[in-house]
Structures are given as structure tokens and as C-alpha cells.
Amino acid sequence: MAGTFEVNGDETTITFEYVANTTRVINSLNDAVHYLYPAIFGEVLVEDSIVPFEELTNQQKLNVLDAWVRKTILDLAKQYDRKRLLEESAAAAALLVDKYI
């Protein structure tokens, strides 16, 4: 896996690229999306109709994985922020307690 950052003013593009044997890529893609879809992301809607997993295009499968990667990154960032804030709050509270004891 190779990741790249491309900064263009106020916008940054992050790109991940995977290269592997075609059969392995397709099998891995299908297995991963089959796991995520529809349990996590629900059915893909196309013009008011639900697309069954078997009818998803490769692009739609990549869209499911992209949504999962984006959600995972944002969830991890939120967890880190919560942990950091809790640690900072605990340290500040300890200082206050020490001040009055």
C-alpha cells in the first residue's frame, strides 16, 4: 500500500493505492464488501430502487469501501480527541484537588 498527500492550497487529497494479482484483488474486494454490505451501510439506492449485492458494480463496491475507510478514519480521530480531552480534564482536576488538600 502506498499513501500520498497532495496539498493544493486549502484542499488536500489523500490517496491510497493497492496493487496485487487481479484475482486476489477482486476476491478481496468482494469479500470485504460482502461483509460490510448491507449490514453496515444498508442497500445502495439507485433512482428509488435498491440494488442487491449481486448487482453492485465494481465502482459501487469501491464506494462502499471508501465510505467505510472514511468513517473509520473519522471515528478514530474522534476517539483520540475524546481520550486526550479526558486525560487533560483528569490532570486539571488533579491539580485543583492538590491545591485544596
Which tops the pLDDT comparison, 9 or 42? Answer: 9
Q: What is the pLDDT of residue 24?
A: 95
- Whether 98 shows a pLDDT value over 80: the answer reads no
Residue 40 CB contacts under 8 Å (≥ 6 apart), including other chains: 68
Percent of the chain at pLDDT above 90?
44
Backbone angles phi, psi at 60, to 5 degrees: -65, -35
Res 80: pLDDT? 96
Q: Could you tell me which residues are beta bridge partners of residue 62? A: none
Q: Which residue has the higher pLDDT, 101 or 82?
A: 82
Query: Looking at residue 94, what is its pLDDT?
Result: 87
